[in-house]
Structure 1
């Protein structure tokens, strides 16, 4: 399972506000099956099979164009761990457990 951080930035929109475009991307993502996602202030993290998530990223990149943007730049970061299953929740829990344990380094 892959974790993918995606930031879609519409340009040429005539406004500095991008929340409407972001909402369009998230609405599209809400309809997707077989994935988990987390909206953050600077992007969206998607958890799922890599091929599925990459296709979703391509489709999310298209959403601002459909809403009238003249240009879109998309940044994608992929964490594809294959030795064991990695999840958003598991990665956060691993760090939090280190914070709780005394001198916890690994």
Structure 2
């Protein structure tokens, strides 16, 4: 099974520049061992199960919670049985049609 999770999480009470807090989240995701892709507006992770994806979200919140009074998060899931490596395969599918997309 492939669980793709696109999410953004950040504190809303830490001013305009929140990259130090987002960096903590990305480090947590990287350390989890999950496949991930950082984008300008969020992060996409791929896990084999929904509980694994939700555990990463919880771990990311746990990183922010001690220092942040308010945390915003948005989540989108694409859960597909019988598939794997969807994060890269979806991009390759488009690239097979129009060529390289991330130059």
Same fold judged by TM-score > 0.5?
Answer: yes
Q: How many residues align?
A: 97
Tell me the residue number matched to 1:25: 25
How much does 1:82 deviate? 1.3
Q: Deviations over 1:37-75 (max 9, x none)?
A: 111111111011221111101121232222x21100111
SS class of match (2:32): coil
**Where does the alignment leave 5 or more consecutive residues of structure 1 unmatched?**
101-106
Q: Deviations over 1:9-36 (max 9, x none)?
A: 21112x2101000001111112113x20
Matches within 5 A, 1:1-106: 1-13=2-14, 15-33=15-33, 35-49=34-48, 50-66=50-66, 68-99=67-98
How much does 1:83 deviate? 4.3
**Where does the alignment leave 5 or more consecutive residues of structure 2 unmatched?**
none
Aligned equivalents of 2:84, 2:59: Cα separation in 1: 25
How much does 1:99 deviate? 2.0
Runs (4 or more) in structure 1 with deviation over 4 Å come to none
